[in-house]
Amino acid sequence: MRFSHRFQRTRLRRSIRFWALAISLCFIAALAALGIKFMFDSVGASKFMRYEPVDVPPPEISPRHAPERKELERREKVVEGETK
Q: Which CA distances in Å does 84 have to 34, 52, 69, 72, 80?
A: 61, 29, 23, 19, 6
| Pair 43, 55 in one domain | no
| Pair 43, 68 in one domain | no
Confidence of residue 1 (pLDDT cuts 50, 70, 90): very low
DSSP 8-state assignment for residue 2: H
**Rounded to the nearest 10 degrees, how much is the dihedral formed by the CA atoms of 59, 64, 67, 69?**
-30
| Pair 59, 73 in one domain | yes
Domain range enclosing 37: 1-49
Does the pLDDT value for residue 66 go beyond 70?
A: yes
Number of structural domains in the chain: 2
Residues 57, 65 contacting (CB under 8 angstroms): yes
| Pair 32, 1 in one domain | yes
| Pair 45, 57 in one domain | no
| Pair 39, 2 in one domain | yes
DSSP 8-state assignment for residue 48: T
pLDDT in tens, 17-52: 999 999 999 999 999 999 999 988 887 766 555 666
Taking the C-alpha atoms of residue 10 and residue 16, their distance in angstroms, rounded to an integer, is 10
